[in-house]
Structure 1
Amino acid sequence: MNASPIESINGLRVSRETQQRLEHFGHLFIKWSKTINLVAPSTIGDLYRRHIMDSAQIFSCFPGPKRWIDLGSGGGFPGIITAILLTELKDGWVDLVESNGKKAAFLRVALQETGARGSVRTMRIESAPLTLKECDALSARALADLSQLLEYCLPWMDGTPTRAFFHKGRDYQLEVDKADGRFKFDLIKHQSIVEPDSVVLEIANLSRKSGGEL
C-alpha cells in the first residue's frame, strides 16, 4: 500500500488506534484479493487513496453515531470504513448487505479483526427491508446507477428522515437527470477530495413520482 497512515479525513482527525484498524483492514484486503475479486486489480496499488480515503468521505459527510445500512458491500467500501470510523465514537453501527457468500466471509473477518462496529447480512438487497426495518443513513459504492439505487433505498426513505450517500464519477449529472424522471428527492453534491471529477451525492426526502415505476 503506497500511502502514509490516515491521520485526518476531510478535516476530521482520527486516533492512532483507528489508523491501525484502517491499516490492518488494508492488509487483509490485499491478502483476500489474491483469491477473491474484490476491486479492479489495477487499483489495489493505490488502495488508500482510491478506496479507503474515498470511502471515508461518506462518514465525513454525515458524522456522528448513526445507524447505517451499506448496500452491496462487496470489498467493504464504504461500509467497513464507516464501521471502523464509528469505533472512534464507541457508538453507531453499520449493517453490511452482501449476497455473495465469499465476499460476506471476507467482510466478517474484517469486522472481527478490526473490531469495527458492524455486522454482515448475507441477503439480497431487495430482501433487506424485511429484516432491517430502519436506519439513519444508507450508502453504496460502485453498485448501480442512481435510479436503481433510489429504487433500492425507497423502502427505508419514503416518508422518513433517512439520508443516502452515493459515490459517483464524472457522468453523475446524467444519472441525476434520469432519476429525476422517476423520483422526487433533495440533492446535495459533495465534491470529492480524492478524485476531482467525482462527487458524493447526498439524497434526502425521497419519494416516487406519479407514473415513475421502473
Structure 2
Amino acid sequence: MPHAPVGSAEWKSLIIEGAKALGICLNQDTADHFAVHALELLKWNRKINLTAITDPLDIAVKHFLDSIVPSLMIPQGAALLDIGSGGGFPGIPLKIIMPSLSVTLADASLKKVNFQKQVIRSLNLRNIEAVHARAEDMPRDPKFANAFDVIICRAFSALDVFAETALPLLAENGIIAALKGKLSEKEIESAHIRIGKIRFESEVKTYLLPYLGAERAMVIFKSRIFLPS
C-alpha cells in the first residue's frame, strides 16, 4: 500500500475509499477537512505529545477511519461527549461528518485542549467545544451532569472505569460507546455490572480496519428502552 503524504489527493482518496469499505459515504469536502485536522496534528505533534501515530496511512486509518465508525449508530442531533479526546479523536471527525451533532471534547491536558480549539477554529466548526477537565469532575457542573445522549472514548485503559465515569454524565436513555482493540468477555461483563444490567443492554460490534486488516471492537451500552419488546 503506497504511503501517500498526509493531505495529498491520494491520501484523501484513501480516506474516501476506506470509508466505503466501512459502509460510510464521504465526499471530497469531508476529506479536505480531515486533511486540515491531520496536518495540524503533525504540526503540533512536533512540540507536544499528541500521538505516536505519524505514518500517513496509519493516521488515515487508525485516527480518521476508526473515529467515524460510531457514526453508524449515533442519532442525528445528539449531544455527544468525547472523553479523553487527545488529538480530537473521535469527536472532531464525527462532528465533521455529522454536522447536526452537539459535541463536547474533554481532556485533562490543557495543551491538548488548546490543540483541539485550534482545529475547531481552522475548520470553522460550530456547536462544538473543547473543555479542559477531568471526566470524573465534570458531573459537579450542572452544565454537564446528565447532559449527553452519547458518551464515547478511545483513550481508556479499563472499560469498567470508563463506563462508570460516563454514567453521571449520561442523559436518560443515552448511549455509552467505547472503541478498542480486542476485549475479553470478562472486561465487558465487569463494565456492564458497574453501570447496571437492568438499565443497560450491552452490544459488541467488531470490524476490520481498511487497508491494515486490524480487528477493532466497539462496545455499546444502551438503555433497554431502545430495544424492541
Q: What is the TM-score of this pair, normalised by structure 1?
A: 0.84
Amino acid at match of 1:21: H
Counterpart of 2:227? none
Q: Percent identity?
A: 24
- For residue 124 of structure 1, report the CA deviation from its aligned partner: 1.3
- Pick aligned residue for 1:171 from 160, 170, 183: 183
Counterpart of 2:34? 22
Corresponding position: 1:119 with 2:129: yes
- For residue 97 of structure 1, report the CA deviation from its aligned partner: 0.8
CA contact (8 A) 1:43 1:50 kept: no
Counterpart of 1:211? none
Moved over 4 A (4+): 41-45
* 1:1-214 matched pairs, under 5 angstroms: 2=4, 3-5=11-13, 6-7=15-16, 8=19, 10-41=22-53, 46-87=58-99, 91-117=100-126, 118-129=128-139, 130=141, 131-133=143-145, 134-157=147-170, 160-183=172-195, 184=197, 185-194=200-209, 196-205=214-223
- For residue 135 of structure 1, report the CA deviation from its aligned partner: 1.6
- For residue 28 of structure 1, report the CA deviation from its aligned partner: 0.8
CA distance in structure 1 between the partners assigned to 2:53 and 2:62 by the alignment? 12
- For residue 181 of structure 1, report the CA deviation from its aligned partner: 4.2
Secondary structure in 2 matching 1:36: coil
Counterpart of 2:7? none
- For residue 177 of structure 1, report the CA deviation from its aligned partner: 2.8
The superposition leaves residues 2-27 of structure 1 with CA deviations (integer Å, 9 ceiling, x where unpaired) of: 44433345323223222111111111
Secondary structure in 2 matching 1:13: coil
Moved more, 69-78 or 11-20: 11-20
CA distance in structure 1 between the partners assigned to 2:79 and 2:194 by the alignment? 27
CA distance in structure 1 between the partners assigned to 2:121 and 2:184 by the alignment? 35
Say what the alpha-carbon RMSD is for the aligned residues: 2.2
Structure 1 alignment gaps of length 5 or more: 207-214
Secondary structure in 1 matching 2:173: coil
CA distance in structure 1 between the partners assigned to 2:191 and 2:220 by the alignment? 14
Moved more, 61-70 or 51-60: 61-70
CA distance in structure 2 between the partners assigned to 1:167 and 1:182 by the alignment? 18
The superposition leaves residues 124-166 of structure 1 with CA deviations (integer Å, 9 ceiling, x where unpaired) of: 11122223131211110022311101111111338x2110111
CA contact (8 A) 2:80 2:152 kept: yes
Counterpart of 2:8? none
Structure 2 alignment gaps of length 5 or more: 5-10, 225-229
CA contact (8 A) 2:68 2:93 kept: yes
Moved more, 97-106 or 56-65: 56-65
CA distance in structure 2 between the partners assigned to 1:59 and 1:95 by the alignment? 16
- For residue 170 of structure 1, report the CA deviation from its aligned partner: 1.3
Q: How many residues align?
A: 202
Q: What is the TM-score of this pair, normalised by structure 2?
A: 0.79
